[in-house]
Amino acid sequence: MQNSAIKVGGAALNQTPLDWTGNRDRILQAISEAQHQKVAVLCLPELCISGYGCEDAFHSEGVSEMAFKMLQEIIPHTTDIAVALGLPVCANQVVYNTIAWVVSKELHGLVAKQFLPGQDLYYETRWFKPWPHGIVQTFKYGGLTLPLGDLIFDLDGIRVGFEICEDAWVANRPATQLAAQGVDLILNASASHFALGQFAIRRKIVEEGARATNTAYVYSNLLGCEAGRIIYDGTVLIASGNQGILAEGPRFSFQDFTLTSASLDLGLNRLQRRKNINYQPTYNDHRNHVFCKFPWHKFTVHSAISVSAEEPMNSQSQAPFEEFSRAVALGLWDYLRKSRSQGFVVSISGGADSATVAVLIYLMANLALKELGWEGFRKKQAHLSWLPNQGQWEIAQVMPHLLLAVYQASEHSSETTHSAAEELCESIHARFFEFNISGVVGEYTTWLEQMLNRPLNWEQDDLALQNIQARVRGPSVWMLANTYGALLLSTSNRSEAAVGYATMDGDTCGGLSPIAGIDKAFILRWLKWVENKGAVSIGPLPVLKRITDQKPTAELRPQNSKQSDEDDLMPYLVLDAIERLAIRDRKMPLQVWQDLQHQFKTTEKYNPASLALFVERFFQLWSRNQWKRERYAPSFHLDDENLDPKTWCRFPILSGGFAEELRVLREAVQEKTEKDQ
């Protein structure tokens, strides 16, 4: 190599598990664009060939074989570029999560992941085996004999090492050992989930990894809703030594891939190591080093630092409400096209939850049109049979086909919710249906009264009379969704899921529950934000004032009862605080009550006795309603307080219900009451 300047790149890819040709083609597009931009080294995401979310299919030897076959089809397209590609590899009769290192049409070896996540969303320890530090083995596959393990590659004068996602999140991350062996460039191929606020942590890990090791660092993440629950934000970051982050790619893109590149001078990092009195190289025979010939003479990098990337999200668009908007919009976009649905059906009530889901669909369509343009929109969603072959549609023409909203009134529904639902649909150009369910509810009620030989009444039959209204609404929206080939969306939120404040086969009907991973208090604040400010490049929706001015209510009891969600449960602010303490922080009832007293010590209306009643109600409802959470439609993971029992928060369906713990709480409350008197 003539000098120490190099152009590196990272690509975010929107992949799908087991979509072999689709995944291959998107990889080839990213490689082609990198070659066009004269990128010398390209880092692609973790398991990008197979898809990250293959789950137990990873146990099939055929999956590893097909992934290797796709790798061999990609290799001939890597002229004059070094590429890191993720794939599963079956060796030693087990499966490893690996990175293939391909340089100018030659496969030089595979690096295996050393630290496997096995908590929360991740079950890698179920499918893969961790690779021990410092070990290299010979690997025979497809007629090739290759090194496999903890490898460093010498790219004709530049040493390249790897951290694979979780490797960078542990205390003894491999970067330290890589730097001691003289590595100049660390590539991190990742599949790291989106969660509100996590981007700042991820950015710090990359920046600190480069600074502490005096290396250049390239981080590439997956993009979009890959397998159904996890959303990937498509982060690409490039950092170098004390210079910090040099390039940051766009997040939440609707494209198949994004490419971010930067030209940097590795000599500055080498100089810093020579000056650093604490830098101590490792003295060994470098048996884990693999030499790779590379045509550096074809690359001329004049600028010490130059960047090629789309505009990254600014600080405003990294705020929680903006992140939430863009993450769910991208998740809905991918769910629509990957499920090949013709649109969405929402049972719109005129309340906060269904309004949130409807507005998110509107944001999805708007953001996609703004980024992709009409032709890009039509190409990405080519399965939509209602898209015109000619001409160009605006958002007002797209939305009536994309969103079918149904308001189903009962005798207890108000004109307030009816007009709010209708005006919202008009404002976002959704198609609005309405019909009255009173007759059907009456038929069920009459039938059951005849069976019981007595009239039903609200004093004795409150739950049954409420739930039948919610359940009667289910078949009609399912029928509408089936008729149009559309995806029915459930509108339940996380706060309701925690305490079972939902009717199974009623308001939980749906194939996807996009807001079941976020709490009600956040939703109410988000709606106010959209009403007054709105997403970047989209703007506010003032019509939401009709929603935000209301007190949340199910409208299932007679109007003179003045039913409200918080009267049925407890204040959402308190409910969400209890949920965090009890479920996220795993605290018992007495500890939760003690913490709540501190949190709400300045709020006079929440005295210790009332807080104790809320705590007891929460733990009782939580325990009784696990069966409901088990039956919720798949939901997006949006923050690290998820209640999804299939991916994040497991709890027994049958339990003792915290009976002993609640007894201890009641005794503590009684003791405090007597002491204060």
Look at residue 315 and tell me whether its pLDDT is greater than 50.
Answer: no
* C-alpha to C-alpha distance for 577 and 383, rounded to whole angstroms: 43
Exposure string of 511-537, with b = 16+ CB inside 10 Å and e = fewer, is: bbbbbbbbbbbbbbebbebbbeebbee
| Strand pairing class (152-155; 344-347) | unpaired
Q: Which band of pLDDT confidence, cut at 50, 70 and 90, is reported for residue 316?
A: very low
Q: What angle do CA 450, 455, 461 make, to 5 degrees?
A: 110
Q: Which band of pLDDT confidence, cut at 50, 70 and 90, is reported for residue 286?
A: low
For CA atoms 180, 243, 157, 75, the dihedral sign is positive
Look at residue 304 and tell me whether its pLDDT is greater than 50.
Answer: no
DSSP conformational letter for 497? H
85 alpha carbon, distance to own chain's centre: 22
Sheet holding 5-13, edge to edge: 136-141, 144-149, 106-112, 94-103, 82-91, 41-43, 5-13, 257-265, 306-308
Return the closest-CA partner of residue 536 out of 370, 353, 309: 370
Look at residue 230 and tell me whether its pLDDT is greater than 70.
Answer: yes
CA distances from 247 to 235, 290, 346, 457 (A): 11, 28, 40, 66
Return the closest-CA partner of residue 297 out of 474, 122, 40, 67: 40
Q: Which band of pLDDT confidence, cut at 50, 70 and 90, is reported for residue 306?
A: low
Look at residue 362 and tell me whether its pLDDT is greater than 50.
Answer: yes
CA distances from 230 to 113, 249, 626, 646 (A): 21, 20, 22, 12
Look at residue 317 and tell me whether its pLDDT is greater than 60.
Answer: no
pTM of the model: 0.95
532 alpha carbon, distance to own chain's centre: 26
Look at residue 604 and tell me whether its pLDDT is greater than 90.
Answer: no
* C-alpha to C-alpha distance for 624 and 265, rounded to whole angstroms: 61
Kindly report, residue by residue over 50-82, the tens digit of the pLDDT.
999 999 999 999 999 999 999 999 999 999 999
* pLDDT > 90: percent of the chain: 88
| Strand pairing class (82-91; 306-308) | unpaired
Return the closest-CA partner of residue 27 out of 63, 69, 73, 80: 73
pLDDT of residue 308: 54
Helix (H) or strand (E) holding 102: strand 94-103
The end-to-end CA distance of the chain, in Å, is 83
For CA atoms 260, 264, 266, 271, the dihedral sign is negative
| Strand pairing class (431-436; 403-409) | parallel
Domains and CATH numbers, the chain: 5-313 (3.60.110.10), 315-553 (3.40.50.620), 566-677 (1.10.10)
* C-alpha to C-alpha distance for 401 and 431, rounded to whole angstroms: 7
Determine contact, residues 129/97, Cβ cutoff 8 Å: no
* pLDDT > 70: percent of the chain: 96
The predicted model gives 17-26 an average pLDDT of 98
pLDDT of residue 416: 95
Kindly report, residue by residue over 155-200, the tens digit of the pLDDT.
999 999 999 999 999 999 999 999 999 999 999 999 999 999 999 9
Look at residue 206 and tell me whether its pLDDT is greater than 60.
Answer: yes
Determine contact, residues 63/18, Cβ cutoff 8 Å: yes
Return the closest-CA partner of residue 663 out of 603, 595, 593, 589: 589
Kindly report, residue by residue over 490-525, the tens digit of the pLDDT.
999 999 999 999 999 999 999 999 999 999 999 999
CA distances from 87 to 54, 132, 391 (A): 11, 18, 42
Look at residue 271 and tell me whether its pLDDT is greater than 50.
Answer: yes
Kindly report, residue by residue over 449-484, the tens digit of the pLDDT.
999 999 999 999 999 999 999 999 999 999 999 999
If one counts every other C-beta atom within 10 angstroms of the C-beta of residue 476, the result is 18
The predicted model gives 208-212 an average pLDDT of 95
Q: Which band of pLDDT confidence, cut at 50, 70 and 90, is reported for residue 309?
A: low
pLDDT of residue 302: 55
